[in-house]
Structure 1
């Protein structure tokens, strides 16, 4: 499927991306990302949470609450000029692009000082066209009772506090305000830390996704998982230990 955006819109997006790449000093990871588009195959798990199922919200190691992201949160969590390593600058840059797109609903988890420690975007079925355009069709079309979580990011200085699982769990529950019963998210099969955080947040594997790149063209395949495959894909024991 081709993205429903104008050539001018595409050019503007690329110009902005080039500008932020230079500002952030992320030329090397950008080159790697471009090289990845020549030929690659990336497997991911789609995970789903039923918001009507019993679930105990994980407790972070520090007290946190979640709320919609505001302008004052942008610099503390996404500033490209902060003294962070190259990997984190790249992560900030990609989230900044998502924020600039204006799609979805970004939420932050904040500590007792109202400092943002974690950010993630929530999308409803009404966002399907915009999600398809921005993410180039890598997510399945959402049904009217489904929502999507994407763009999770925890700055390094806040990692190790189990903020992701607690924040993600609470943000997912905001989907009920959008009329959703199910919330889905996608994580690379080799990203064990994120898979653990998602399971603690109540998300279980339900679908395989393979994103293939060949000479700049993208192909995405989805395949429902059997119950045996679901159990094999889980990274936590059923007890949540």
Structure 2
């Protein structure tokens, strides 16, 4: 029997994606993404934080706090029609898709005027099926004492304030409320700024991920790091 409901949902998602691409003008970024899906190997580091290990939340250059994202925040941090370049609109578009899917718990870091300046999603292990489906297996299945942080985004106007490391650290702390001891996240090996932010937030490398695509087919491999590989992968030493 054909799953017409599932097929309709998939078509609807792609239709929204195409509509957002047209409206936001992110043609170049979309083309780059499509080309990547044809044939590529993309390495990334998986990083993990033990919430029971000593850790001091790093300070941002401005006072911030974190709270759950509310509807009124969306137009301030994910507006697709904001006066930003196409690269940032692409980043906003991908987070909007995640928000529309309705999985995970999005948190925002806000300044002292409650203006959202950073957003990131926290995923629970009971969302494994939804996470695997939405992200196409890019993340390992979470154990009962694990949580995943994904979708980090700092608008350009708020960058350079070390908001990511402080906000990420505080959002990771929220995982303890859902019974997690460990929080994991993934970052491309060449994204040095994000890797530094993750380390400041208490995350250390623990696994290599290889995202391999050939003619649209995706295979994801995870390889646990040795102690020496962990040290080599660290960017703050």
Q: TM-score, normalization: structure 2?
A: 0.97
Shift of 1:32: 1.1
Shift of 1:28: 1.4
2:24 corresponds to: 24
1:60 corresponds to: 60
- Distance, in Å, in 2 between the alignment partners of 1:59 and 1:31 is 38
1:35 corresponds to: 35
Runs of 4+ aligned structure 1 residues displaced above 2 Å come to: none
Q: How does 1:91-240 map to 2 (within 5 A)?
A: 91-237=91-237
- Distance, in Å, in 2 between the alignment partners of 1:150 and 1:48 is 12
Residue 32 of structure 2 aligns to a residue whose secondary structure is: helix
Residue 147 of structure 1 aligns to a residue whose secondary structure is: strand
> Gaps (5+ residues) in structure 2?
none
Shift of 1:31: 1.1
- Distance, in Å, in 2 between the alignment partners of 1:7 and 1:220 is 24
Shift of 1:85: 0.7
Over the aligned positions, Cα root-mean-square deviation in angstroms equals: 0.7
Question: 1:202-234: per-residue Cα shift (whole Å, max 9, x none)?
Answer: 000000000001011100000000000000000
Shift of 1:8: 1.4
> Gaps (5+ residues) in structure 1?
none
Question: 1:63-96: per-residue Cα shift (whole Å, max 9, x none)?
Answer: 0000000001000000011000111000000001
Of the structure 1 ranges 199-208 and 29-38, higher mean CA displacement relative to structure 2 is found in: 29-38
Residue 42 of structure 2 aligns to a residue whose secondary structure is: strand
1:8 corresponds to: 8
